Chains A and B, each alone.
Chain A
Amino acid sequence: MCGIVGLLVKSPPLRERLGELMVPMLIGMTERGPDSAGLAVFTSPLPVSERKISVYSGLTEAGADFNWQGLGHDLKSHLGTTVTVNARGNHAILTTSLDPEVIKRWIKEHHSKLHLLSTGRSIDLYKDIGTPAEVAARYDFASLKGSHLVGHTRMATESAVTPDRAHPFTAGEDFCLVHNGSLSNPHGIRRMLEPHGITFETDNDTEAACRFLEWRLREGDDLEVALQKGFEALDGFYTFLMGTPDKLALIRDPFACKPAVVAETDDYVAIASEFRSLAHLPDIKNARVFEPAPEEMYVWNA
C-alpha cells in the first residue's frame, strides 16, 4: 500500500499556496504510507542555460550537518564556475550554468554518499524516511510554491525503507514518477534498458517504470505515446502519477487494483489515492469529483 497525491493549480495566485494546500493532502495519506514521504514541485523554469540539482546528504556521515558551503567552494575551485547552493538541513538545491552532468559526475566521484535527487530547470525534489507529517515539517513543504507537484507516502513492499527508495523517482531532467502498487516485471524492464546505457541506482520496482518512461520520452515519444508503451511493457499493479514541467499525468493498470480519485475546479486539479486527502481543499463541495478509469491516460496541463 502507498498513497499518492498530486496538485496542479490553474490560477497564478494559487501558486503561492501550492505547498500549504498540499501538506494536508500528504498527511491525509499517512495510513496508506507511514514509512517515507516525498514530493517533487515544479516551479517557474530557470533560463535555458541553467539547471538545478536537488541533493540529499542524509546518507553521508555528516547527515544534516553536511558542509554544503564547502561543497560550493570545492565545486568552484575544481570546475571553475560558481554553483549557487541553497541548503536546508540534509537537503540542498544547486543551481549552475555548467553542464549538470559535469557537476553530478564530480559529486559522485568526490562525495559518493550524496544522493542526487533530481535535475532540471523546473523540478525540486524532496524525499526521506519518516511519517508524512515529519517529512513535511523537515523540509517545510507548506512553504513550497509552484504550478504543480507530485507527492507520495510510502508503505514499502518491494524494497527496503531507505531515503533513496522513497518516491518520487526521477530520470533524466524534469521528469518524476510516483507509484502505488507493485510491478511484476521490473527485472525484465531493467534487463531491456541496461543495454541502452541506462543505469539504476536502487533495486526498486518503481525506478524501472520511471526509467522506462523517461527513456521513451528521450527517444522522442510524446507523453501519450510513452504512456501507451508503458501500458504494453509494464506488468503488475499500478497507479502512476507523473510530472513534467508543464504536465501532470495519471494512469492506472487495467485491473484498477490501486485507487485514485480526482477533484477538479476552475482553480485546481487535485489527485489522491483516496478522497480523504481531498476533503479539505477549497470549494471541494462544488468540485467535479471522479474516479479515473483503468488503462486510460489523464493528462493535465500546467
Chain B
Amino acid sequence: MERMIFDLAKTPLRALNQFLHHDAKTGSIEKVVVLNPDGAHNIAVGLDCPVEVEVRGHAGYYAGGMNKTGSVIIHGSAGTGVAENMMSGKVHVKGFASNGAGASAHGGLLVIDGDAGLRCGISLKGGDIVVGGSVGSFSAFMAQAGRMVICGDAGDALGDSLYEAVLYVRGKIKSLGADTRIEPMSEADLAAVADLLAQAGIEHAPNEFKRIASRRELYHWNADANQEY
C-alpha cells in the first residue's frame, strides 16, 4: 500500500489538504500519515475520495469536517467541530473531542473513544455517532436524523427539540431536553446499538442502553396550547 507522510512541523497544512483534495483522488495513495499536528485547525477537511488519513497527535478545530468517503483516525484529541457536516466515511478520535463534535453530519460514522464536549451531534442530519465516554450538555439539540450511541453519561438538555434522530444512552442522563422522552428498546434498537458498537470497536451489552426519541409534540403549532409547553 502506498503511503505518504506529512510532517506538519515542516510542511504547511495547506500542502496536506491540497494533496488530499487533488493528488489523493487519483487513487495512487491509499494512506496519508500526519505527524506533529500540534492542534492545527482544518486537518483533512473536505475529503472527497476513499483515502485513509492517520493523524498522530492532537488535532485542532474542524478535523475531518465535511468528510465524504474518507477515513480519518486521530491518535489524540480533537478540537471544536470534529467531523462537522460529514457526508459519509468515518472519523475516529482515539482521545476526547471538544464541543460540537459531528455537528450537522449528514452521513458517515464518527467514533470518539473518550468524552465529547457540549453540543455533540447538534443538528445531526443522518450521520451516526458513537461516544465511548460521556457527552456534554445540549447534545443532539434539534437532531433531525441519524443515531447517537453514548456509552457514558449525558449532560443537561439531551436531545432538546429532537426531530427523528434516535439516541441511545448507557449511563446517567442529567436532564432531557424539551419534547424528548425515554422509550423502550425494541429488537431493532438492540440490533442497531450492537451494530454501531461493533463498527466502533467498543464492547458493551446493547441491553444496557436506553432509547431516547422525540415526543413529537413540538412538531406542529398547537393553537390551543396557550403558549404552555
Binding site for B on A (CB under 8 A): 254-256, 259, 261, 274-280, 285, 289-291, 293-294
Closest A residue to B59 by CB, please name it.
Answer: A275
- A-side contacts of B118, CB under 8 Å: 255-256, 294
A274 and B38: CB pair below 8 A? no
Known contacts A256-B99, A275-B58; A294 and B136 CB within 8 A of each other: yes
Known contacts A275-B79, A291-B96; A256 and B58 CB within 8 A of each other: no
The 8 residue pairs across chains A and B that have the minimum distance between CB atoms: A275-B39, A279-B38, A276-B39, A275-B58, A256-B118, A279-B39, A274-B39, A291-B98
Q: A275-B38, A294-B118 are in contact. List 9 more A-B contacts (CB 8 A).
A: A255-B137, A256-B99, A256-B117, A256-B118, A259-B79, A274-B79, A278-B39, A279-B57, A291-B96
- A-side contacts of B61, CB under 8 Å: 274
The secondary-structure label for the interface of chain B is: loop
A136 to chain B, nearest CB (A): 20
- A-side contacts of B98, CB under 8 Å: 259, 261, 291
B80 at the interface (CB under 8 A from A): yes
- B-side contacts of A259, CB under 8 Å: 79-80, 98-99
Closest B residue to A289 by CB, please name it.
Answer: B77
B60 at the interface (CB under 8 A from A): yes
- B-side contacts of A285, CB under 8 Å: 57
Closest B residue to A278 by CB, please name it.
Answer: B39
Q: Once the chains are docked, how many angstroms separate the CA of A57 from the CA of B65?
A: 47
Closest A residue to B115 by CB, please name it.
Answer: A291
Binding site for A on B (CB under 8 A): 36, 38-40, 57-58, 60-61, 76-77, 79-80, 95-96, 98-99, 117-118, 136-138
Q: Once the chains are docked, how many angstroms separate the CA of A261 from the CA of B118?
A: 14
B117 and A291: CB pair below 8 A? yes
Q: Once the chains are docked, how many angstroms separate the CA of A290 from the CA of B117?
A: 11
Q: Once the chains are docked, how many angstroms separate the CA of A279 from the CA of B9?
A: 11
Q: Once the chains are docked, how many angstroms separate the CA of A274 from the CA of B37?
A: 13
Known contacts A255-B118, A259-B80, A259-B98; A276 and B137 CB within 8 A of each other: no
A276 and B40: CB pair below 8 A? yes
- A-side contacts of B96, CB under 8 Å: 290-291
A289 and B80: CB pair below 8 A? no
- A-side contacts of B79, CB under 8 Å: 259, 274-275
Q: Once the chains are docked, how many angstroms separate the CA of A274 from the CA of B76?
A: 14
- A-side contacts of B99, CB under 8 Å: 256, 259
Q: Once the chains are docked, how many angstroms separate the CA of A36 from the CA of B98?
A: 27
CB<8 Å pairs between A and B, sample of 11: A256-B136, A274-B39, A275-B58, A275-B79, A276-B60, A277-B39, A279-B36, A280-B38, A285-B57, A289-B95, A291-B117
- A-side contacts of B77, CB under 8 Å: 261, 275, 289, 291
Q: B36, B58, B137: which contacts A294 (Cβ < 8 A)? A: B137
Closest A residue to B58 by CB, please name it.
Answer: A275
A289 and B58: CB pair below 8 A? yes
Closest A residue to B95 by CB, please name it.
Answer: A289
- A-side contacts of B117, CB under 8 Å: 256, 291
Q: A275, A280, A293: which contacts B60 (Cβ < 8 A)? A: A275
Closest A residue to B99 by CB, please name it.
Answer: A256
Known contacts A256-B99, A256-B118; A274 and B60 CB within 8 A of each other: yes
Closest A residue to B40 by CB, please name it.
Answer: A276
B35 to chain A, nearest CB (A): 12
Q: Once the chains are docked, how many angstroms separate the CA of A280 from the CA of B40?
A: 13
